[in-house]
């Protein structure tokens, strides 16, 4: 059985206000994210991080237009391949 996703009225109202260029940017970002992510099983982890470090990281990721958890994964992949991050 597939899960059903429900959207709040506020979220749908927000989406209705999006300009065409914002919609295209969102879809392109989603396409790139899907192309980068191999179809493997993910595991939920828990770790302690200083609040100020996490908030600063989230802010920088948001300013760069990438979800912070995706940025963490990119940094992990770069570190494993010895590429500068």
More confident residue, 54 or 6: 54
Residue 65 DSSP code? T
Q: Using CA atoms, how far apart are residues 65 and 33, in angstroms rounded to an integer? A: 12
pLDDT tens digits for range 26-47: 888 888 877 775 667 888 999 9
pTM: 0.51
Q: If phi over 0 gives left and psi between -120 and 50 gives alpha, with beta otherwise, what is residue 84? A: beta
């Amino acid at each position: 059985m597939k899960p059903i996703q429900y959207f709040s009225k506020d979220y749908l109202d927000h989406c209705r206000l999006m300009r065409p260029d914002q919609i295209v940017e969102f879809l392109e970002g989603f396409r790139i994210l899907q192309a980068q992510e191999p179809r493997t099983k993910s595991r939920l982890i828990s770790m302690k991080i200083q609040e100020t470090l996490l908030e600063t990281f989230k802010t920088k990721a948001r300013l760069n237009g990438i979800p912070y958890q995706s940025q963490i994964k990119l940094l992990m992949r770069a570190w494993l391949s010895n590429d500068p991050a």
